[in-house]
Amino acid sequence: MDIKFHLALPCKNIAETKAFYQEVVQANLGRQTEKWLDVDLFGHQLTFTESGSFNFDFKNYRLDDYVLPSFHFGVIVPVDVWGELYSRLFQMDLEITTEATFMQNRTGEHLSFFVQDPNGYMVEFKSFKNPEEIFSI
């Protein structure tokens, strides 16, 4: 069964959000108006609605030796896509945070990095060493 994920989020500026996801992440765009935008993030639907200023406190949590943002969203991609995306974003001189291998030599081992979009959202891109372990305990 091919199930798609949908996440709707407020944004500060629809034009900046559109440019980030279209030009930086190179995601396809879907339906849109002057105030909202659908983004195809690796087959999953993100909907951004322009809402003006808003405030999120990015509280953190610890995983192994890393401090990570509690509030974030992301996508799981194959390792070749992860490497291409990391390389391209790194060359764009974007602030990439916490590029690391998590849970090394344990169930659920994965590569991960975070980048901040124009709205302050932390977007995580991850690739599992063994994709069948995505939901393993």
d(CA 94, CA 88): 10
Residue 1 is assigned to a structural domain of this protein: no
Is there a contact between 92 and 86 (Cβ–Cβ < 8 Å)? no
37 and 77 together in one domain: no
If pLDDT is split at 50, 70 and 90, which confidence band does 61 have? Answer: low
pLDDT value of position 1 = 56
Residue 71 is assigned to a structural domain of this protein: yes
The whole domain housing 125 covers 60-133
41 and 81 together in one domain: no
d(CA 25, CA 95): 14
The total of structural domains in the chain comes to 2
If pLDDT is split at 50, 70 and 90, which confidence band does 97 have? Answer: confident
11 and 67 together in one domain: no
**pTM listed for this prediction:** 0.77
32 and 71 together in one domain: no
Residue 55 is assigned to a structural domain of this protein: no
**Percentage of residues in the chain with pLDDT exceeding 70?**
89
Is there a contact between 56 and 70 (Cβ–Cβ < 8 Å)? no
